[in-house]
Amino acid sequence: MKLLADLCKNVKQPPYDFGRPNLPFSDMIFCSALKVYSTFSLRRFMSHMQNALEENYIQNNCSYVSISNFMRRKELTPILHEVIRLSSLPLASVEMNFGVDSSGFSTSRFGRYFSYKHGKVKDYKVWIKAHVASGLKTNIVTAVRLTEDDSNDSKFFIPLLEQTAKGFELKVAVGDKAYNSRKNVQFVEDLGGTAYIPFRKNARGLAMGSPAWNRMYHYFNLHNEEFMKHYHKRSNCETTFHMIKAKFQNHVRNKDPTAQINEVLLKILCHNICVVIQEIHELGIQADFVNVGAGTCGT
Q: How far apart are CA 289 and CA 86, in angstroms?
A: 8
Q: How far apart are CA 153 and CA 132, in angstroms?
A: 10
pLDDT band at 124 (very low <50, low <70, confident <90, very high): low
% of residues, the chain, pLDDT over 70: 93
What integer is the mean pLDDT of 47-68?
A: 90
pLDDT band at 13 (very low <50, low <70, confident <90, very high): confident
- Is residue 38 within 8 Å of 64, Cβ to Cβ? no
Does any domain span residue 291? no
Integer-rounded Cα Rg, in Å, for the chain is: 21
Please indicate whether residue 200 or residue 22 has the higher confidence score (pLDDT): 200
- Is residue 253 within 8 Å of 72, Cβ to Cβ? no
* Alpha helix stretches (DSSP H) within the chain: 2-8, 25-38, 42-54, 64-70, 76-88, 157-164, 182-190, 211-222, 224-231, 235-248, 257-282
pLDDT of residue 111: 67
pTM of the model: 0.90
pLDDT of residue 20: 72
Q: In this structure, are 71 and 173 located in the same domain? A: no
Q: In this structure, are 68 and 117 located in the same domain? A: no
CATH number at residue 144: 3.30.420
Among the listed residues 233, 96, 226, the one whose alpha carbon sits nearest the alpha carbon of residue 172:
96
Q: 135-168 pLDDT, tens per residue?
A: 999 999 999 999 987 778 899 999 999 999 999 9
pLDDT of residue 244: 96
Segment among 10-14, 147-151, 290-294 with least mean pLDDT:
290-294
Q: In this structure, are 232 and 185 located in the same domain? A: yes
Q: In this structure, are 163 and 208 located in the same domain? A: yes
Q: 69-112 pLDDT, tens per residue?
A: 999 999 999 999 999 999 999 999 999 999 999 999 988 776 66
* Ordered strands of the 194-196 beta sheet: 141-147, 120-135, 97-115, 172-174, 194-196
Q: In this structure, are 131 and 13 located in the same domain? A: no
Q: In this structure, are 127 and 221 located in the same domain? A: yes
Please indicate whether residue 193 or residue 205 has the higher confidence score (pLDDT): 193
Q: How far apart are CA 95 and CA 177, in angstroms?
A: 23
Q: In this structure, are 31 and 105 located in the same domain? A: no
Number of independent structural domains in the chain: 2
Q: Please give the residue range of the domain that contains residue 117.
A: 95-236
Q: In this structure, are 151 and 231 located in the same domain? A: yes
Q: 225-237 pLDDT, tens per residue?
A: 999 999 999 999 9
Please indicate whether residue 273 or residue 298 has the higher confidence score (pLDDT): 273
Among the listed residues 197, 252, 241, the one whose alpha carbon sits nearest the alpha carbon of residue 220:
197
